[in-house]
Chains A and B, each alone.
Chain A
Amino acid sequence: MRRIAVTPAPLDIAALTAEALAAGPGAMATFVGSVRSDDGVTALELEHYPGATDRALEAVADQAIARWRLASATIVHRIGPMAPGEPIVFVAATAPHRRAALDACAFMIDRLKTDAPFWKRERRGADARWVEARGSDEAAAARWDQPPLPDP
């Protein structure tokens, strides 16, 4: 099962988690990214490329499903304005065992960071600034390019 959504509505993490867990054959790993509240950010705005965003997220989820033989992959990303502490993205992977679920979840968020057309703008009071891409994100995504270890 693949669930992809891009939405301006606040993410209901409890409901998303319960939904993913219901598809879980034994193991589920989740990741939640939230708006930073530790460095003076008063609001975050998320812009995206409609159409291309869904296609990119579908591709990331499909790669994870195929590579780790997942029972389900979920990626839900918020767009528009949001406040510090609010969730931006929810990722879940379910599989028969923990290693596949954990690795697939990490893969999906790493790849999303470099492959999906979203742009963040941080507001600090009257100051608004586009967030710069980080080289460490490229490196995190690239580590999944190495051939996967053989199944134990």
Chain B
Amino acid sequence: MALDLLYFAWVREAIGRDGERVEPPAEARTVAELVDWLEQRGDGYASAFADRKRLRAAVDQRFVQLDAAIAGAREVAIFPPVTGG
């Protein structure tokens, strides 16, 4: 099932793009497992995802923990801890 990914801030810069449409394998059931799968796609991904403690995520624009399920999701965003205000 097609899934839209969005990357922000230094995650975006490390990967070298602000988003993409992917077809994750069935075993990628959570955001963390999605990240495991993406990490194999190249150096940029491995660099962006090297420290999981520094990653945050949103599923369909709602903030979630990395162990959140992605079943049925249309959009997953992966980004650093936020720094607005």
Q: Which stretch of B6-14, B22-30, B34-42, B66-74 is in the interface?
A: B6-14
| Cα distance A130–B63 in the bound complex, in angstroms | 20
Contact check, A47 vs B8: say whether CB atoms are below 8 A apart: yes
Contact check, B9 vs A52: say whether CB atoms are below 8 A apart: no
User: Considering only CB atoms, which chain B residue lies closest to A52 in the complex?
Assistant: B61
A10 at the interface (CB under 8 A from B): no
CB distance from A137 to the nearest CB of B (A): 8
Contact check, B10 vs A133: say whether CB atoms are below 8 A apart: no
Q: How large is the interface on B (under 10, 10 to 19, 20 to 34, 35 or more residues)?
A: 10 to 19
Interface mask (B55-85 → A, CB under 8 Å = 1, otherwise 0) = 0001001110000000000000101111111
Which of B58, B62, B84 sits near A119, CB closer than 8 Å?
Answer: B84
Q: Residues on A close to B: CB < 8 A?
A: 33, 46-49, 51-52, 55-56, 77, 88-89, 109, 112-121, 130-133
Q: Residues on B close to A: CB < 8 A?
A: 6, 8-10, 58, 61-63, 77, 79-85
Can you list 8 residue pairs at the A/B interface with Cβ under 8 Å?
A: A46-B84, A113-B84, A114-B82, A118-B82, A118-B84, A118-B85, A119-B84, A132-B83
